Amino acid sequence: MRWASALSGKERTEEAFADAAAEVRRGLSGAPADLVLAFASPHHLEACARLPSLVETALPGALLAGCTGRGIIGAGHEVEDAPALSLTAASLPGVRLTPFHLDQSDLPGSADAQEWRETVDVDPATKPQFLLLADPLTVDAPALIAGLDAAYPASSKIGGLASGGPVPGANRVFLGGRAYRSGVAGVALAGNVAVETIVAQGCRPVGNPMIATRCHGNVLHEVDGRAPLEVLRELHPSLPPRDQELFRHSLFLGVEMRQAVEYREGELLVRNLMGMDPKTGALVVGAELHPMQVVQFLLRDARTAEEDLTRLLDRSAARGRPPSGALLFSCLGRGAHLFGRPDHDTDLFRAKVGAVPLGGFFCNGEIGPVGGATFLHGYTSAFALFREAAS
């Protein structure tokens, strides 16, 4: 298995592509490209229809997948709000690639596992891993994720939502020989490949883990037998001044997603607090809740986001066997906007994991697993690390 990634900031699409294609060919050292991931900023939108033919000419026989994004990642660097085009290519001996494109009208109307398997046409016995690149303005991404989780519960799903387009049809997703204005581009990988996923949600807990003792839908009525708003009023004055300030604009709720009640650090699903009832002390949360789930209040800022990603990358590096290549799907709210400089997450990845070819883009939502299920996230950095399957 070989991977290579390249990034060009040239404004003319053909010139940017030629530079990036030449660089990934050098990185592959003569090995044929089986998969090419292309990510392009909106500056290249008018020429995006030509990308599939450019890939076929420069890297014949490779399967193209990709999309447009307001920020682009390639060769281990991040470019935001400027012209950019990245190519990440992989030579994948012994790996079977199954592409599929689905529009909203193609999605099954329920999470029936068999119907989703027939729609995607991927055999679960092959133990596939899924790469998903979807246009959020034209396809129901949560329904897509829920359906694939039902059909392929043992498979990882990783990816992101195209960004940069303000209206339906303004984004592009690439698959095979076409550039689509809608839908999801999916690739199932099976065979000689292992995909490790890292989802850094950028939050840290405050206070203690609690049990959701009374809830209905997405309304949290009681935690440990008390109104959650009462808990917050008690928690706030116990925190240092910096955390008290974060309470004003960066307070979230973490929800344990495992079936059993067992709290594990870093496996809480981060969700927004959407409202409160001052009379009852209830909170409205951006997730369906169930009695006896573990919940905990969380705070997010740049320092916490860095600490969270550092912890997860250290944990990955400690497992040994560095990856051959990687993809990064990062939120538009991260990058220089959060950290005050570009290349924060990519520099940290290089420092912790090594000089691994890394491409990707800044998303309108990130797809990745937490606690054994797949979710659509915000403000996260979701990594996919690719290795040959262990013998």
Q: How far apart are CA 70 and CA 40, in angstroms?
A: 8
Q: How far apart are CA 179 and CA 160, in angstroms?
A: 17
Choose from 62-66, 110-114, 198-202, 301-305 the range with maximum mean pLDDT: 62-66
Of the pLDDT bands very low, low, confident and very high (cuts 50, 70, 90), residue 320 is confident
The single residue listed with the structure tokens 């990783």 is: 158
* C-alpha separations of 199 from 145, 243, 263, 311 in Å: 16, 23, 17, 11
What is the predicted pLDDT for the residue at 390?
78
Q: For the chain, what percent of residues have pLDDT higher than 70?
A: 97
Average the pLDDT over 25-40 and give the result.
Answer: 97
What are the pLDDT digits (tens) for 136-164?
A: 999 999 999 999 999 999 999 999 999 99
User: Beta partners for 96?
Assistant: 190
What are the pLDDT digits (tens) for 261-316?
A: 444 555 789 999 999 999 999 999 998 999 999 999 999 999 999 999 999 999 99
What is the predicted pLDDT for the residue at 258?
66
pLDDT at 6 over 70: yes
What are the pLDDT digits (tens) for 102-122?
A: 999 999 998 899 999 999 999
Max distance between CA atoms of the chain, in angstroms, equals 68
What is the predicted pLDDT for the residue at 267?
72
End-to-end CA distance of the chain: 14
What is the predicted pLDDT for the residue at 257?
79
Contact call for residues 341 and 302 (beta carbons, < 8 A): no
Amino acid of residue 203: C
What are the pLDDT digits (tens) for 331-377?
A: 999 999 999 999 999 999 999 999 999 999 999 999 999 988 999 99
Query: CB under 8 Å to 307, separation ≥6 — which residues?
Result: 204
What is the predicted pLDDT for the residue at 263?
43
What is the predicted pLDDT for the residue at 372?
85
The closest alpha carbon to 339, from 17, 58, 78, belongs to: 78
User: What's the chain's average pLDDT?
Assistant: 94
Q: How far apart are CA 192 and CA 388, in angstroms?
A: 5
Contact call for residues 389 and 193 (beta carbons, < 8 A): yes
pLDDT at 259 over 90: no
The single residue listed with the structure tokens 């800022």 is: 301
Q: How far apart are CA 283 and CA 233, in angstroms?
A: 13
Average the pLDDT over 307-328 and give the result.
Answer: 93
